[in-house]
Amino acid sequence: MPNLKNSLKSLLLIFNLVLVDSILNAQELVKTNNPAEWSQDYQPFRIAGNLYYVGTYDLACYLITTPNGNILINTGAQDSGPMIRAHIEALGFKFSDIKILLATHAHFDHVGAMADIQKMTGARIMINEEDAQVLADGGNSDYVMGGKGPMFKPVKADCLFHEKDTVNFGGMQIIVLHHPGHTKGANSFLFNVKDEHRVYRVLIANMPSILDETKLSGMPGYPNVGKDYAYTLNAMKDLKFDLWLSSHASQFGLHEKHKPDDHYRPEQFIDQKGYDAELADLQKEYLEKLTEK
Ligand SMILES: [Zn+2]
């Protein structure tokens, strides 16, 4: 009997160790209310030159291919990883060729699958220094949504951007424009792609939308939020580009401009007017919110 007792004891010990281990590894994520369009599928396509749309129906993710490996901008929500992978492979590229991961801002709908994708590809994560902490704690330190625990799998960045840095990789020069407000480290990306006909200047804009809970007079975790929104709205007014894209498909009207199975036509996304109108709307929203107590 003592033998059985001992082995029972050690079995219990192992069970406890496994239990503790799984508790430590479990990512208890704060439940979020995600619109259906975020996880709805959308056929990936070539936008212009070496730039492709690989996101979900509304969570825009962009693949830039280069001879040295590929760059993925935004990773969607926690459950978007497998869909993004399937899209990249459907276009004929290797998922493991992703070498750099970028994001327009560290919210759970754009960096949700970043930890998983980094684990699978070994890619380097590059993020604005002002969003690095939020990325590293799964959004818990976000000035609006934080404080309830991680909303996405925390992950550490490998490289930090400062105002107006450039990512030089595989012949691409991607200018990183710091557009703070929506998050402290939100940024837009400006770069050229070319096809056999011409060069296109592409803007992937982080449109400065304001969450309902934001107080422009200052938040405890972000006293300068109002000032930063004003800066960003102003800075974005002067941007010149050919093709306009952004963090959400709905923001730049992807589904009005493009249908699945459309032929390659980068001109679909030439829309300075649409961009100016959207920015004017956001400016109005900002001014209305300024008077809010
Ligand atoms: Zn956001």
Predicted confidence band of residue 291 (pLDDT cuts 50, 70, 90): confident
Domain boundaries, the chain: 34-290
30 CA → ligand 1 middle, Å: 16
132 CA → ligand 1 middle, Å: 15
Mean pLDDT of 98-106: 98
pLDDT of residue 21: 41
Mean pLDDT of 163-184: 95
186 CA → ligand 1 middle, Å: 9
Closest CA to 254 of 18, 42, 93: 42
Residue in the block written with tokens 């490998």: 158
182 CA → ligand 1 middle, Å: 6
pLDDT of residue 4: 56
pLDDT tens for each residue of 239-258: 999 999 999 999 999 999 99
* Signed CA dihedral, 34, 36, 40, 42: sign only: negative
108 CA → ligand 1 middle, Å: 8
105 CA → ligand 1 middle, Å: 7
Yes or no: domain 34-290 corresponds to CATH 3.60.15.10: yes
211 CA → ligand 1 middle, Å: 8
90 CA → ligand 1 middle, Å: 28
109 CA → ligand 1 middle, Å: 7
187 CA → ligand 1 middle, Å: 11
Rounded distance between C-alpha atoms, residue 26 and residue 118, angstroms: 18
158 CA → ligand 1 middle, Å: 22
The average confidence (pLDDT) of the chain is 92
**Non-local CB neighbours of 75 within 8 Å, separated by 6+ positions:** 61, 81, 84, 101, 103, 110, 111, 112, 113, 114, 117
Rounded distance between C-alpha atoms, residue 122 and residue 115, angstroms: 10
32 CA → ligand 1 middle, Å: 13
